[in-house]
A and B are shown apart, each in its own frame.
Chain A
Amino acid sequence: MAGVSQAIALERPRIDMSSVLCTAVLGVVTFSVVFPVLLVVLQSFQVAPPGQPARYGLDGWRAAFAEPGLRAALVNTLTVTLVRQLVSLPLAVFIAWLLARTDLPGGRWLEFAFWAAFFLPPLTVTLSWILLLDPEYGLINTVLAQLPGMGKGPFDIYSFWGIVWVHVITGSLTVKVILLTPAFRNMNTAFEEASKVAGAGTLRTALKITVPVMTPVILSVLLLGTMISLQTFEVEQVLGIPFRFFVFSTTIYDLLVTRVPRYDAATALAVVVLAAMLPVIVLQQWVTRRRRYTTVTGQFRNTPHALGAWRWPALLFMLAMVAVVLGVPIVFALLGTFMKLFGFFHVKEPWTLQNWTTVLTDDVFLSSLSNTVVLAVGTAVAAVIVHSLIAYIAVRTRYAGRRALDFISWLPFTVPGVILGLALLWLFLGVAIVRPLYGTMALLIIAGLISGMPLGVQIIKSGLMQLGGELEEASRIAGASWWTTYRRIVLRLMAPTLIAVAMITFVGAARNIGNIALLATSANRPLAILQLDYIAQKKFEEAVVVACIIMVISLAGALVARLLGLRGSV
């Protein structure tokens, strides 16, 4: 009888728990990512001013394209993006090659320095470079001005090149280095050795073999970098506004923060950005899928190129790079907090502790700090669960909607952060059942979760791909269900990667500005928004104190992520 009942049990059509779970995840992600994006598109045709009944038309689009600054913003966005990538890519490839393929002394420490720099908040870095490169008071400029024949310091951070410089330092370069270095390290050494045996020297091997073999990875990183570079707006907001230099994101912000917000025109611009980003995403995914051949498992050993006499010049170059991306921002951000008047080194008695006491005794600061801690921890925990589920479904299951889920996880990259925040605002004010969340930390956590989704899901996905499927299959064969396997095998094996993703999300949430600028209220205002408020009130001294506190939180996150052995990967 036992045999019969077993046979019947097998034949009974059963509800597959795994596909129920997959569908639930797809549903939630669609609601919180696709729906807001659709709202943005819809809103661009809603032309009635806020507070009046909805009316649909093309006025917003007309206004957006009639906007005199639009063409300039378009040109500025494209040129800044292009120049950033052109400057940072060759530099990043060279640095990654030095770190991963040569006998450069202290390579691991230098790599960690780039990690730490990646975690520095862009706004903090911007503020410290203002101290050095402000046209009037910047330290470098005042020193150079004293040289004979120099009337005035040659540098101006409030310029196109100033913006490019800060961008290269804050993100473009470091993110590429930390993604490219492990990829260069994992490359099969035999490709290079075959070239050397065939008669090519180190330089020729690097240019004709290493870089071409790595081209798909480099391209993939370039596209990812391009997407990330279209995200930030703090740098342009701080450095571009003084000389009326607008890019897309700051134009959109400008349209939103006027007295009568032009939601229609702002969202119309956002749709333009979205349309431009979609092909980049598709291209990035295509390139990433095609590059499976570049690494070979079970390689013999990684023999580094001997730099010979170039060892010490190369080390000097790397130390200079680390000073620029990490040393200067940390040192000058700290210096700035002790200045009576931010940026004025030459006044009498420039130093004071007043800024710290002002900030630390401010009630708003204390509530903001606790908000930031709740926000960062909450986002990190939520990200581990949600991002790993998405990544797992996309990589491991045969679920019909897995490609859609994978694609959706990229969508937050396509919408400027400010607009995504706005869309979430509409979503949470417009849909009755989720309305109570408005004004709570939960809303900010959801925003952080969504903005961290592309990177978080990518990192977990590549971790899963390296893990190999057999370990899970063995668990399934041993009798474990899909869910049990996920809990008992996948989560355990992926623990280091997941904790690292948690740290990245933690840091991202702690310093996130664009996404939550419109969502935060006085009840749930975190430090990052407090910092922005201080800047808006021209209280740079207080702003830089807050910036330093965020920086310390971020660097602690970097250290934890690194200690847990995260290797960046695309």
Chain B
Amino acid sequence: MADETVLRLDGVRKLFGAAPAVDGASLEVTRGEIFTLLGPSGCGKTTTLRLVAGLERPDAGEITLRGRVVASVARRVFIPPHKRNLGMVFQSYAIWPHMTVLENIAYPLELRGERRAAILDKVGRVLDLVGLAGLEGRPATLLSGGQMQRLALCRALVYEPDLLLLDEPFSNLDAKLREQMRVELKVLQRRLGVTVLFVTHDQVEALSLSDRLGVMHRGRVEQVGPPRHLYEHPGSPFVRDFLGQTVVLRGRIDTPDAGMVTVKMDGALTGRTLAGRAAPEVGLTPGADAHVAIRPEDIEVAAEEGTPPRRHTLPGVIEALLFVGDRYEVRVALGGEQRILLLLPRTREWREGQRVELGFPPELVSVWPA
């Protein structure tokens, strides 16, 4: 049963006024995985999460949780949030200020009719799990930000929900604590095997935590896949530019053949050609304007310009050189017009004004219609 589907969204739509916040989103989350919805603010990811939780009613589509339809416009089904057996960690944590740590965690257990002894036992174990053991009696308002977040996690996990929903849970923490909590969450999830639907706008969080992730754009899920696959094989210009850094150069299609496309460069770079694989699902015709995309870390930088020029290279000049500690950040001018930002290792010496040769390995380059 490794492939059991915990959550399925089918063409889910949610309007606020006339504007769709979620516009036909479909996805599946399988048991035991961390599935992340990633996107810029306003892309509809939090609304999608709230639709799953039952805090919003969809205007179209269907949501299924462990085989049970919990919201369906066509079938006129809407199960309220308290009957969905979900756990949720809110962005503001929503730790109830009038309760102690124990009372906060015990609340969902009491609602499930658990006995006092069992409640105390479970609360103790879950607090132990996140390193808050012994704080049962503390008023919830006296906790630090990190502790509150752990408490919110305890409260959402203690009743073993079918699905754990995380709504930007790290956004209120400082950078150091955020990194620490990220690792803790992943370790905890692996130990408990709980299925997680995670919402964030932070691509580092998304890439590092998820088993699979879905990039959302304008209310739709644009692409779903394992983080590395999305990073290396983005299915759309939006996914490509949103995930990580991308260097994009303009050119004109020369020959599209056998999956490998040759592109002639324009302007000051006339005479040079680059090659790369065709981006998925696009027809590239000879003579059409095209974009050549590559991750900056995939560009091979050589200190000297070779003569005659090697294939799949472009000449450049280091315009600005910034030493940022573990590496250099450099701005390289390509033939005077296009400028790109690169990261260079500090194992070699670089200087401003230096001529360099940039290699674009075809297997790492993708070609897009302009």
A-side residues, CB < 8 A to B, are 188, 190-191, 193-201, 204-205, 208-209, 212-213, 215, 293-294, 296, 299-300, 303
Contacts and interface: CB of A to CB of B under 8 A. Distances in A.
Nearest to A191: B94
B112 A199 contact: yes
A356 B94 CA distance: 59
Interface string B97-114: 111000000011001100
B350 interface: no
A201 B155 contact: no
Given A215-B98, A293-B97, A294-B97, A197 B82 contact: yes
B46 A300 contact: yes
Main secondary structure of the interface of A (DSSP, over half): helix
Given A195-B82, A300-B46, 19 more contacts: A188-B94, A190-B91, A191-B96, A193-B53, A193-B88, A194-B88, A194-B94, A197-B53, A197-B156, A198-B107, A198-B108, A198-B111, A199-B83, A200-B82, A201-B82, A212-B98, A213-B97, A294-B97, A303-B55
A280 B80 CA distance: 43
A195 B155 CA distance: 10
Interface string B41-78: 00000100000011110000000000000000000000
B245 interface: no
B40 interface: no
Contacts of A201: 80, 82
Contacts, number: 79
B246 to A, nearest CB: 31
A207 to B, nearest CB: 12
B140 to A, nearest CB: 10
Contacts of A215: 98
B-side interface size class: 20 to 34
Interface of B: 46, 53-56, 80-88, 90-94, 96-99, 107-108, 111-112, 141, 152, 155-156, 159, 165
Contacts of A209: 96
A196 B55 contact: yes
A198 B96 CA distance: 12
A10 to B, nearest CB: 37
Nearest to B87: A197
B90 A193 contact: yes
B81 A196 contact: yes
Nearest to A294: B97
B68 to A, nearest CB: 16
B90 A200 contact: no
With a 10 A CB-CB cut-off, give which of A209, A215, A300 has the most chain B CB atoms: A300
A211 to B, nearest CB: 9
Contacts of A195: 82, 96, 107
A215 B156 CA distance: 25
Nearest to B161: A197
Given A193-B81, A198-B155, A213 B98 contact: yes
11 contacts: A190-B93, A193-B55, A194-B94, A195-B82, A200-B107, A208-B107, A212-B96, A213-B96, A213-B98, A299-B92, A303-B56
A198 B55 contact: no
Contact of A198 (B80, B82, B97): B82
A406 to B, nearest CB: 24
B114 to A, nearest CB: 11
Name the residue among A193, A196, A197 with the largest chain B CB count within 10 angstroms.
A197
Contacts of A293: 97, 141
B111 A194 contact: no
Which of A188, A198, A300 has the most CB atoms of chain B within a 10 A radius of its CB?
Answer: A198
A197 B162 CA distance: 12
A200 B98 contact: no
B120 to A, nearest CB: 18
Contacts of B98: 212-213, 215
B86 A197 contact: yes
A372 B91 CA distance: 54
A303 B16 CA distance: 12
A215 B99 CA distance: 12
Given A199-B108, A199-B159, A300-B91, A194 B96 contact: yes
Contacts of A200: 82, 107, 111
Contacts of B92: 188, 190, 296, 299
Contacts of A199: 82-83, 85, 108, 111-112, 159
A294 B140 CA distance: 13
Contacts of A193: 53, 55, 81, 88, 90, 94
